[in-house]
Amino acid sequence: MFVRHCADARYVWNLGLEQRSFWRRGMSSVSVYDQKRSLTDARQHTWLGDGSSVVQQQALFDLDRAFKNWWRNPSHFSRPTWRKAGIHEGFAIRDLSIRRINRKWGEVLVPKCGWVRFRVTRQWADICAGTSARVTLDRAGRWHVSFTAPPPAFKRQPTGAVVGLDMGIAATVTTSDGEYRRMPDHLTPGEVQRKRRLERKLARQKKGSKRREQTKRQIAGLSAREADRRKDWIEKTTTDLVREYDVICIEDLKVKNMVHTARGTVASPGKNVRQKAGLNRSISSQAWALLRKRLCDKAAAATDPDGSPSPVAVVAVPPAYTSQRCSACGHTTQENRESQAAFLCRACGHADNADVNAAINIRAAGLAVAGRGGTPVVVGPVKRQPPGLAAA
C-alpha cells in the first residue's frame, strides 16, 4: 500500500505540474482548488479511485506549496520539477494521529493501512508537536517517516562575535578566525573497497535478475550511509557556528551554477574540469545547499537563555573578488592568488591562507551590508524579484 501511495502521489503531482504549465501558456491560471475538483472527477472514472483520496489531495497541496515557495523566494527554492519513480518516492499524511507503544516504538495512522509502527529517533514531545508527516522510501529501500513541527528553540548566550565563512571547493568551511572544518571522507577505506567490489559484481550480473537487484540494494545502502554521515556533519557544524556567533556572513553563491558550469560544454570545456568533476563527486551541490539551509533554520530559531527570540543574523554577500582582494590593504588582482592554498598581496606583501583571506573579506562585506540602511541584516538568502511575467 505504501508503494501504491507513493505512485499515486507522484502521478497526481506530475499531472498537476503539467496542468499548471499548460494553463500558464494559455492566459488563465489554475488554482489548487480547481485541481482538487479535477481530481474528484478523475477519481470517479479512473483507477485513481482505488487509491487514497487523502494522499492524492495532499500531493496537490504539496505542489501548490512548492510553487508558492518558489514565487516567494526564487533564489532559495527552485521551480517544482517532475517526480521520478525510484528517486522521489514518498507521500504526505495530513490530520496526524500518533500513539506511543513503548520507549523505542510509536505508531502512526496511515490512510488505508491503519496503524504502522515506527522507530522513535526524536524526542517524543517533538513528534507530538508535529502537524503533518511525510513517509519516504530511500534508495536503499528503507522507509522513513518525518514529522513537520515548528523548529525547536535554539537557546544560546549572545557572544557579540561576527564571522565570515568561506565554503571551499576542497569540501571545507573556513572561518575568518582561521578555523577549518573539513567534511569528512564519508566512507572508510574498507567501505570504499567493498563498494568497488560490489560494482564489479553488478557489471557481471544479468540484467533484471534477482541477485542483481540485491547487489544494487547493497550499493545503495553504502551510498545512504555516506549521505547520513554528511548530514550529521552538517548538523554539528551549523550548531557550533550558530552557538558561537551573533552574525554569520556567507557568500551568496549559486551552488547549482558553481557545480554546473564546472562541466562546461563540449565546444568550450570548463576550466579545471578534472578538479571540479572530483568536486561533483565528493561533495554534491546538495551538501552546500543543505548546510546553508540548516544554518538559516537554526539562526532564525535562536533565543536568549530565558527563551525570548533573538535570531542570529545570516548575511549573504555578493561573491565578487572575495578570493582576489587583500584583506589587509584592499588591493585586488588575480596575481594575489599564489596558488589554490596561498595568498600573497602584490601591493603590501600580506600573506595568508587563501581561504582565511577570503573569509575575512566576506566578513567585512557582511558588516558593510549590515551597516547600510535601516534593516541591518538579512536572515536567509538575499531576496530577488519574483520571476513574475519573465517566467511566463
Q: Binding segment for Zn ion among 16-24, 85-93, 99-107, 341-349 (CB under 5 A)?
A: 341-349
331 lies in the binding site for Zn ion (CB under 5 A): yes
Q: Which three cell numbers stand for residue 54?
A: 487523502
- Does 351 contact Zn ion by CB under 5 A? no
Distance CA 54, CA 96 (A): 12
Query: Of 345, 364, 369, 377, which one interacts with Zn ion (CB under 5 A)?
Result: 345
- Residue 276 — φ and ψ, nearest 5°? -80, -25
Does the protein bind Zn ion through residue 337 (CB under 5 A)?
A: no
Q: Which is nearer to Zn ion, 251 or 352 (CB)?
A: 352
Query: According to the binding rule CB under 5 A, does residue 328 interact with Zn ion?
Result: yes
Q: Which of 166, 191, 228, 232 is catalytic?
A: 166
E-state strands within 33-126:
89-93, 98-100, 105-110, 114-119
246 is catalytic: no
Interface map 270-309 toward Zn ion (x if CB under 5 A): ----------------------------------------
Dist. CA 328–CA 116, nearest whole Å: 61
Q: Which is nearer to Zn ion, 316 or 358 (CB)?
A: 358
Residue 129 φ/ψ, nearest 5 degrees: -75, -10
In the complex, least distance from residue 363 CB atom to Zn ion, rounded to whole angstroms: 16
- DSSP-derived 3-state class of residue 131: coil
Residue 98 CA to residue 151 CA, distance in Å, equals 19
Q: How far is the CB of 358 from Zn ion (least distance, A)?
A: 14
Q: Measured from the CB atom, is 6 or 356 closer to Zn ion?
A: 356
Binding-site member from 326, 354, 359, 365 for Zn ion (CB under 5 A): 326
Q: How far apart are CA 372 and CA 252, in angstroms?
A: 17
Rounded to 10 degrees, the C-alpha dihedral 51/52/57/58 comes to -120
Among 129, 342, 348, 351, binds Zn ion (CB under 5 A): 348
Nearer Cβ to Zn ion, position 85 or 329?
329
Say how far residue 155 (Cα) sits from the centre of its chain. 24
Least Å from the CB of residue 353 to Zn ion: 15
How many helices and strands in the chain, by DSSP H and E?
11, 15
Binding-site residue total for Zn ion (CB under 5 A)? 8
Q: Which of 251, 252, 304, 335 is catalytic?
A: 251
Would you say 238 or 327 has its CB closer to Zn ion? Answer: 327
Q: How far is the CB of 372 from Zn ion (least distance, A)?
A: 24
8 Å CB contact between 262 and 280:
yes
- Residue in 8, 62, 64, 355 annotated catalytic: 355
Q: Is there a catalytic annotation at residue 338? A: no
Query: Any catalytic annotation for residue 166?
Result: yes
Give bridge partners of residue 314 from the DSSP assignment.
248
Does residue 161 belong to the site contacting Zn ion (CB under 5 A)? no
The answer to whether 329 contacts Zn ion (rule: CB under 5 A) is yes
DSSP string, 182-246: EPPPSS-HHHHHHHHHHHHHHHHSPTT-HHHHHHHHHHHHHHHHHHHHHHHHHHHHHHHHHHH-S
Q: Is 342 in the site for Zn ion (CB under 5 A)?
A: no
Partners of 108 in the beta sheet? 98, 116
Q: Which of 36, 134, 194, 350 binds Zn ion (CB under 5 A)?
A: 350
User: Which residues sit at the interface with Zn ion, rule CB under 5 A?
Assistant: 326, 328-329, 331, 345, 347-348, 350
Residues annotated catalytic, as ranges: 166, 251, 355
